[in-house]
Amino acid sequence: MRKQINLTVVHEDVPRLLQTSVVAAVSRNEIKRKEVFGEIGAAIESQDRAKVAEFLRDLIYADMALREEVNLMLPLLQALGDDSVSSNTQVVKDLSDLQEDSLGVDGGSK
């Protein structure tokens, strides 16, 4: 089941979100593959063509589901390493003639 959300995140969190999404999607795919592989051997041994075909279909569906999940991650991938995100950080020039403020802190330049 999928849920579409609109979420604004801190730029530095994008790699972690992408990594978590990839790991979760691959884990789901691996679980499904193990289920299929665990049962397909017996069907092959018994030469049950219908069962083998069913397991192969399930394997294809598992890979298609993984593909769909990876496609859902494209916005995170596009945001990864995007340095166009502006920072609110401002560089302030250190002035040598600053006076001590009301907290007793001076300009630091002497």
- pLDDT score for 95: 57
Does residue 92 form part of some domain?
A: no
- pLDDT score for 22: 95
Q: Please give the Cα distance from 10 to 34 (Å, whole number).
A: 36
Nearest to 55 by CA among 86, 83, 32: 32
Does residue 19 form part of some domain?
A: no
DSSP string, 55-86: HHHHHHHHHHHHHHHHHHTHHHHHHTT-TTS-
Number of domains in the chain: 1
Does residue 60 form part of some domain?
A: yes
pLDDT digits (tens, 9 = 90+) for 11-26: 899 999 999 999 999 9
Q: Please give the Cα distance from 37 to 44 (Å, whole number).
A: 11
Residue 59, domain extent? 31-79
Does residue 9 form part of some domain?
A: no
Does residue 98 form part of some domain?
A: no
Does residue 100 form part of some domain?
A: no
Does residue 6 form part of some domain?
A: no
pLDDT digits (tens, 9 = 90+) for 45-68: 999 999 999 999 999 999 999 999
Higher pLDDT, 107 or 11: 11
Write down how long the chain is.
Answer: 110
